[in-house]
Amino acid sequence: MRSANSITRALVALVALSAAACAQDDRYPQALPLTTGSISGAGATSGWSGQPGASGHPAMTADAIMAAVANFPNCIAALWPDAARRGISRAAFEQFTAGLEPDVKIMDLVDAQPEFTKAFWDYVDTLVTDERIARGRELLAQNAASFEAVERAYGVDRHVIAAIWGIETKYGVVAGDPR
């Protein structure tokens, strides 16, 4: 029971933190209704709706997203010093970053997540279920040594790790679209 309570508290805390971090207020007005589809054009914007995200966050406006797209080469170039410090040759860096483009269509997916489109308690109700809590308890028990080792090595409570695993993949059941 203690493990279930810990998982429940961790799930609720994670959901609350993510919701609080993205809370709507006067600075970030809700940009609803959501518009989806595609815009004409080539390159990085292909497949992106061109619409601001549901969170209303200033970094999710169409202008901010297009500014980030325009700055992408500078972003890649700024990675070079860190790569060099890690022993990556300039030739390898150039080879593996040549031709990279931002995949801006991801912006429609990122900002359309339920954290931004559902009321808080509706969102929590979809995540904190008896089934998910039971599965979390079962996996914590089955993998106690691994959870203990990770908790010791990284200082992150095993219940928080299990809660994140449960939220993000339903404990490995939902892996997402590999595209």
pLDDT at 31: 39
**pLDDT tens digits for range 31-59:** 333 333 333 334 455 678 887 776 677 88
Q: Are residues 78 and 137 in the same domain?
A: no
Q: Are residues 104 and 50 in the same domain?
A: yes
Structural domain harbouring 124: 1-23+113-179
DSSP state of 153: H
Lowest-pLDDT range, 1-5, 88-92, 94-98? 1-5
pLDDT band at 24 (very low <50, low <70, confident <90, very high): very low
pLDDT at 9: 54
Does residue 14 surpass a pLDDT of 70?
A: no
Does residue 26 surpass a pLDDT of 80?
A: no
| Averaged pLDDT, 98-118 | 81
Q: Which residue, of 111, 145, 165, is where some domain finishes?
A: 111
- Look over the chain and give the mean of its residue pLDDT values, rounded to a whole number: 76
Q: Return the closest-CA partner of residue 172 out of 142, 145, 136, 147.
A: 136
**Neighbour-count burial for 140-169, b at 16+ CB within 10 Å, e otherwise:** beeeeeebeeeeeeeeeebbbbbbeebbee
Does residue 149 surpass a pLDDT of 80?
A: yes
How far is Cα 100 from Cα 79, in angstroms, rounded to an integer?
A: 13
Cα 21 to its chain centre, rounded Å, is 13
Q: Are residues 146 and 172 in the same domain?
A: yes
Q: Return the closest-CA partner of residue 131 out of 94, 85, 173, 77.
A: 173
Q: Are residues 77 and 9 in the same domain?
A: no
In a 13 Å sphere around the CA of 178, the CA atoms on its Cβ side amount to: 0
| Averaged pLDDT, 122-130 | 88
- Residue 87 is which amino acid? G
Number of structural domains in the chain: 2
Q: Are residues 120 and 99 in the same domain?
A: no
pLDDT at 58: 82
